[in-house]
Amino acid sequence: MRRRRFTGGKLVVASHNLGKVREIRELLAPFAAEVVSALDLNLAEPEETGDTFVTNAELKALAAAKTAGFPALADDSGLCIDALNGAPGIYSARWAGPSKDFGVAMGRIERVMTGKKNRRASFVCALALAWPDGYCETFEGKVTGLLSFPPRGTKGFGYDPIFIADGHSVTLAEMEPRAKHAISHRADAFQKLVAACF
């Protein structure tokens, strides 16, 4: 089956996470897309009932595309820690609690990692591009690295201050946005999306 391509015009980024929306806008900058966010359109946040990043990205993109009436791009992503069998994974946002305080979430990770020698982790990102008629494409990206405590850096968002990507010596939160975009899980998924649909 031939893949459907995004031919320009309005695209809603189906996220209420300002860090994600900012990064997706930066990644979309070279393309002819008139980007609006779920916040701009006051779209409701659907419940993330899927059990994988891909199914959650798909359900968010489909809900936004149907409500907005034009294509929607959704991101479901998270931090997967090897010593915790992939946790927090799809529950990465929930580990920050209702106040969405990632200082709290990173403190919780530091506590549960106490005494564990294996510090390996990865960030995973699923992107879903959906149209109002229910057609949807999904792509997954990943970056591997090591957890590092205490948190360092003020750029980026979420768990960036405790993650050092393989081949680097600073956390993602200490990197300039352009440098993060060269290696991140989101950029990896984005490259696959662009190759297939843009």
**Residues in 97-126 that interact with ligand IMP by CB under 6 A:** 102, 123
Ramachandran assignment for 69, one of left (phi > 0), alpha (psi -120 to 50 degrees), beta (any other): left
Among 17, 37, 122, 171, binds ligand IMP (CB under 6 A): 17
Token pair recorded at residue 116: 């564990």
d(CA 53, CA 1): 24
CB of 49 to ligand IMP, least distance (A): 12
Q: Which residues, 6 or more positions from 189, have their beta carbon under 8 angstroms from its beta carbon?
A: 75, 125, 126, 127, 139, 140, 141
Question: Smallest distance from the beta carbon of 45 to ligand IMP, in angstroms?
Answer: 9
The reply to whether omega before 71 is within 30° of 0 (cis) is no
Is cis: bond before 150, omega within 30 of 0?
Answer: yes
| Burial (0-12, 13-18, 19+ Cβ within 10 Å), 47 | exposed
| Residue 92 binds ligand IMP (CB under 6 A) | yes
Selected from 70, 131, 149, 157, the binder of ligand IMP by CB under 6 A is 157
Q: How far is the CB of 79 from ligand IMP (least distance, A)?
A: 6
Judged by CB under 6 A, which stretch of 1-9, 64-72, 132-140, 151-159 contacts ligand IMP? 151-159
Q: How far is the CB of 180 from ligand IMP (least distance, A)?
A: 7
Residues within window 67-86 making contact with ligand IMP, judged by CB under 6 A:
76-79
Binding site for ligand IMP (CB under 6 A): 17, 48, 76-79, 92-93, 102, 123, 156-160, 184, 186
